[in-house]
Structure 1
Amino acid sequence: MFSTPSDEASLYGRDDNVELLKAWAGTSLAFGIFIVHGQVLQPIFVYWLIIAALTCGIGFLLHELAHRVVARNFGAEAHFVANNGWLAISIVIAFLSVFIAAPGAVWHRGYLTVRQSGLIALAGPVTNLVLAVGFLILGENVSAQSEIFGINMQDLCRVGYRINAWLGLFNMIPAGPFDGAKVLAWDWRVFAVTVAVALLLVFGL
C-alpha cells in the first residue's frame, strides 16, 4: 500500500531496509503457518516456510519497493514503515487458517498529481501480477521432479503464482487505503484493465 502519513514523525528514525526485512520475515512466517494449517512442529513446516519466503515474502517485498521507486522517481520522499501490530495479528490468525497480508505501507511526503499517485499505487499490484505470470511460465517449463536446494520447483511455482495473483487482485480493491482506490481516482480504464487481468489470473487460469 501507499499513503500519506498521518503522523510525519513516523518517517524519521526508521531504516527502510530494517522495516522491509521485518515485514518480509513476518509476512513469510504468517503465510508459512497458514500453508501448514498451524502445524509448525511438523518437519515439513520448514520446507513450506522457505517457499512462503520466496513467494509471498518476495511478492510483498517487490510490491512495496515498486511503490517506493516510482514515488521517488516523481520527486516524493518515500519510506516503507512496517505495521508491527498487523504483523503480529497476521501471525496469530494464521494458526486459524486465515491469512491477512497487511505488513505496512510506503508513506510519502511531497506534492503529487492524481496521475502520479495513481501510477505509484498501480506499480505495486502490477508487480505482483507480473510475478504471477513469471511463476506460471516457469511452472509450465519445469518438470515435476525439478528441485533446487531441496525445493520442488513445481511447488514453488504453484504457490508463487497463486499468492501473487491474489495479492495483485486484493490490492486493487477500490476503497480505503488500498491501491485500487488511487488507481480508480486517476483513470477508471487503467483500473478496469488491471482488475480484469487480475481476475483472469486468479479465476480464469
Structure 2
Amino acid sequence: MITFTRNEMRDLAIAFIVISIAFAISNVGLNVHGFISILPIVMVGAGIGCLLHELGQKYVAMKYGYQAEFKAWPLGLVIALATAFIGWVFAAPGSTQVYADNVSDEMNGKISIAGPMANMALALIFIAIASLAYPLKDHSMTLTLIYLICTVGFSVNSFLATFNLLPLYTLDGIKVLKWNIKYWIIIFAIAVIMLLTSISIGAENMVKLIISMSFIK
C-alpha cells in the first residue's frame, strides 16, 4: 500500500498546479482567455502525467522495500514557469527521494525508468481514447472535451517521457543509462518516436490514421 506524508501531499499538489500552469502558458502565452480555457484540459494531460510519473517511481521503490518520498524542487518549479513563456517547459518540478544507505545503479535505474514509462503508457491510453471519441465528438460537447484532453495528453506525456529520459544531471535518463545502456536506448528511442510523431504528424492526424487502419480488413 502506498502511503504519503503530509509534506509529500503538499509537494505533489504544488507540482501538479505549477506544471499545469506552465504547460498552459506554453500553449497560449499571455492570452488570459486562452489560458483560462486550456488550463482545465492541460491539468488532466500534463498534471496527471506529472503525478503518475512520480507515483510510478514511488511504487517501484516501495515494491523493492525502500522508503520513498516525493520532494518538490523550488528552483525547478520556477524554471518550469520561466521557460513556459518561450513555449518550451523545463519539466523538473521535483524528484522521488529514496531513503537508503546504498542503492545500486540497477535499483536506481529500475526506479527511475518507471516514471517515463508511466508517461508513455498514459500517452498511449490518451491516444486510444481520443480515437474512440473522435467519430462522435461533433455530436457531443462532452466527447469533444474528452477528445481535446486526450490529444493534449498524448502530446504532453510523450514530451515528458522524452525529456526525463535525457541523460542529463538530475533527470531519470542518466540513472537509467548508468544501469543499462541497452534499456535506455530502447525506451528513449520509443519515447522520441512518440514525441516526433506528435510534432510532425499531429495528434489529430494520428487519430485519423488509427481509425482508418482499424477499418482495414
Q: TM-score, normalised by structure 2?
A: 0.80
Cα shift at 1:86: 2.5
CA contact (8 A) 1:38 1:97 kept: no
Cα shift at 1:114: 2.0
**Greater relative contact order structure (CA < 8 Å, 6+ sep):** 1
Task: Find the aligned partners of 2:107 and 2:88 in 1 and give their Cα distance.
Answer: 34
Q: 1:44-94: CA deviations, max 9, x gaps?
A: 422200011101111001001111111122222211111223323322442
Task: Find the aligned partners of 2:189 and 2:38 in 1 and give their Cα distance.
Answer: 30
Cα shift at 1:14: 6.2
Larger helix proportion, structure 1 or 2?
Answer: 2
Change (3 A) 1:175 1:154: same
Task: Find the aligned partners of 2:75 and 2:170 in 1 and give their Cα distance.
Answer: 17
The partner residue of 2:106 within 103, 115, 122 is 115
Q: 1:77-134: CA deviations, max 9, x gaps?
A: 2111112233233224423434221211111221322221111000000000001111
Match of 1:27 in 2: 19
CA contact (8 A) 1:83 1:102 kept: yes
Match of 1:181 in 2: 174
Does residue 1:172 correspond to 2:165, yes or no? yes
CA contact (8 A) 1:33 1:45 kept: yes
Segments of structure 1 that go 5 or more residues without pairing to the other structure are 1-12
Q: Write out aligned runs for 1:118-197 (5 A).
A: 118-143=109-134, 144-145=137-138, 146-148=140-142, 152-197=145-190
Q: TM-score, normalised by structure 1?
A: 0.85
Match of 1:71 in 2: 61
CA contact (8 A) 1:38 1:96 kept: no
Q: 1:1-46: CA deviations, max 9, x gaps?
A: xxxxxxxxxxxx9611111001101111111122112212x2x422
Match of 2:215 in 1: none
The alignment yields a C-alpha RMSD, in angstroms, of: 1.9
**Amino acid paired to 1:90:** A
Match of 1:58 in 2: 48
Match of 2:206 in 1: none
Q: 1:159-191: CA deviations, max 9, x gaps?
A: 100110111111111231211111111112211
Task: Find the aligned partners of 1:177 and 1:84 in 2 and give their Cα distance.
Answer: 14
Task: Find the aligned partners of 1:93 and 1:177 in 2 and give their Cα distance.
Answer: 17
After TM superposition, the structure 1 stretch with the greater mean CA deviation from structure 2, 93-102 or 176-185, is 93-102
Segments of structure 2 that go 5 or more residues without pairing to the other structure are 199-217
Q: Secondary structure at the match of 1:122?
A: helix
